[in-house]
Amino acid sequence: MLQLEGAKRSFLFCLGICMLICSVIYLRAMAGTDPQGQSGPLGCRPFSKYCQAFLPSTKGSTAWQRHDCQVESYLLSMGNRGGDQDCSRLVRELHFITSPLSREEEDYPLAFILTVHKELELLVRLLRAIYMPQNVYCIHVDAKAPREYREAVESLVGCFPNVFLASHSEMVTYAGFSRLQADINCMRDLAASPVPWRKVLNLCGQDFPVKSNLELVRYMQSKEWRDRNMTPGIKQPAAMRHRTQLQYREVRGSHVAPKRGGPKKGAPPHRLQMYFGTAYYALTRTFVEFVLRSHVSRDLLEWSKDAFSPDEHYWVTLNHIKEAPGSHVGGGWGGEIRTIKWRDQEGTVHNGCKGRYVRDICIYGLEDLQWIIDRNSMFANKFESKAFPEALDCLEQWHRDKVLQQAMVPIQSWWQLATQGNATSLFNATETVCEGSREDLLLTYLSCPETLCGKFRLCVSLRGTVADATIITKEFTSLPPRQTRTFTDLWCTLTTEPHGPLYQRHLSTFTEKNRQLCGHGCLDVL
């Protein structure tokens, strides 16, 4: 009996220890994922040496320095607050262009359809690159996207009168009818828009523009495309006929599969000749009205519900109907809509993917940029901001610089994504203070946007050594109160890190100001 009691006590003791350990691990994990704890230093990647060839030359020892690099974190921190003050701040701090850059663009507004489900940062940067106040934008968020993602997108679009979410969301399946239906949903919403848009273009969340808005407008008004729809494609090849001859079904949110034992599809309605092409387009407004109202287009849409990847036959087939507004019967593959590196075109169309292939499509790496720019299509596909961030950084800055150079109005300072700074002196000062080479220290630059923190710059090594803490005192105390929010987050993080004691000698300078700004008591821990 005594042995049994002893065994029980030992078991309970071990159980208690295990519960304690699990609790500690859980609490640490929760602390690590707490959004409030992620307001750390805003570190911007410097532009790579490869990228310098695509940017305007700098003078002397200066180099291009990015303003912001925490787009996703910034948007998530906004939550659903909204309000004019928060929106005004978001527009400026995320560097959106706020007025038409030419009369030519103002007189030819465009509509855009964006279908997205992931990569919040890439969506924000894509919208920022194509945004103009005279245009209109419909964003379709996949019904299966995470709630946090959808709420962040809602916060973003709530700040722009000409950007809205699709009134109905589909659970989009790759190669399924739901992908086509998502575009149709946005078209219905755009048809009711008071914005007098002239043509609509569709994008996915992993596209990025190559042409500027001015170049898009001029291309849409060129002799070949002025009153025509752009739907690259050809008569359906024999190898693609199974897509519209067999019946397919969507496994919701997953994939498309042939219906087992089912009959073949009937002939297309109205004896239409089937075409095969791209899912991307540039369509006139009158053609969109035809798509939404014509019994021919509606019958083809219904017939396409059990086809494979119907968005790759629907638009191009309708555009080959002579009676359709803006039809382009002899269009072929004409139209510089997308630059894509397909795996099977390696060695002929392109020299290989410098990033990686996913579903036989290249996710672009940095060394793919020269090929993209040389092709000069309207857009390039695909990018991933986390897999190859330097490629997006470089193309984004190259594109914004081109946009602003073409502008025929005064440039606002917050439209700039990067400015020239003295990188050499910063590197040298860092090497002296932090004791070591740039490579060994793996330095992180903590740089605020000009609209937030003036010329504040700080370098911290992974060892926690801080370069010249007195600079912080001088720069911070000279900032207006409205510009200190981001810096406050930075200060609160630094003062609770291992290198925090270095700042204690300066606390007298900050005590009162930080008491007003730092609501979560970060200074109390010192």
Q: How far is CA 516 from CA 67, 500, 520, in A?
A: 26, 20, 11
The single-letter code of the amino acid at 305 is K
Give the pLDDT band (50/70/90) at residue 331. confident
Task: Look at residues 369, 405, 419, 375 and name the one whose alpha carbon lies nearest to residue 212.
Answer: 405
Cβ contact 25:386 at 8 Å: no
Task: Look at residues 290, 297, 104, 321 and name the one whose alpha carbon lies nearest to residue 191.
Answer: 290
Active site residue 121: no
Question: According to the model, what pLDDT value does residue 468 have?
Answer: 38
The 10s digit of each residue's pLDDT in 380-436 is 999 998 899 999 999 999 999 999 999 999 999 999 998 776 544 333 333 333 333
Give the pLDDT band (50/70/90) at residue 71. confident
In terms of C-beta density within 10 A (0-12 exposed, 13-18 middle, 19 or more buried), how is residue 470 classed?
exposed
E strand or H helix that includes residue 485: helix 485-494
Q: With 80 as the cut, is the pLDDT of residue 514 above it?
A: no
Q: With 70 as the cut, is the pLDDT of residue 499 above it?
A: no
Task: Look at residues 233, 230, 320 and name the one whose alpha carbon lies nearest to residue 268.
Answer: 320
Listed in sequence order, the DSSP H helices in 98-192 are 103-106, 120-130, 147-157, 177-191
Average pLDDT, the chain: 78
Backbone angles phi and psi of 269, in degrees to 5 = -65, 150
The 10s digit of each residue's pLDDT in 169-188 is 999 999 999 999 999 999 99
Q: With 70 as the cut, is the pLDDT of residue 486 above it?
A: no
Question: According to the model, what pLDDT value does residue 52 have?
Answer: 83
Determine how many CB atoms are found less than 10 A away from the CB of residue 23: 10
Q: With 80 as the cut, is the pLDDT of residue 488 above it?
A: no
Question: According to the model, what pLDDT value does residue 191 have?
Answer: 98
Question: According to the model, what pLDDT value does residue 104 have?
Answer: 98
Residues in contact with 104: Cβ distance below 8 Å, sequence separation at least 6, in sequence order: 214, 217, 218
CA dist 382 and 443 (Å) reads: 30
The 10s digit of each residue's pLDDT in 425-476 is 333 333 333 333 333 322 333 333 333 332 233 333 222 333 334 444 444 4
Domain boundaries, the chain: 71-406, 417-525
In terms of C-beta density within 10 A (0-12 exposed, 13-18 middle, 19 or more buried), how is residue 94 classed?
buried
Sign for the CA dihedral angle at 156, 161, 163, 168 comes to positive
Question: According to the model, what pLDDT value does residue 145 have?
Answer: 96
Catalytic pick among 312, 431, 435, 439:
312
The 10s digit of each residue's pLDDT in 87-109 is 998 999 899 999 999 999 999 99
Retrieve residue 57's tokens: 């030359």
Give the pLDDT band (50/70/90) at residue 494. very low
Question: According to the model, what pLDDT value does residue 17 have?
Answer: 57
Question: According to the model, what pLDDT value does residue 80 have?
Answer: 54
The separation between the first and the last C-alpha atoms of the chain, rounded to the nearest angstrom, is 54
Q: Which residues pair with 445 in a beta bridge?
A: 459
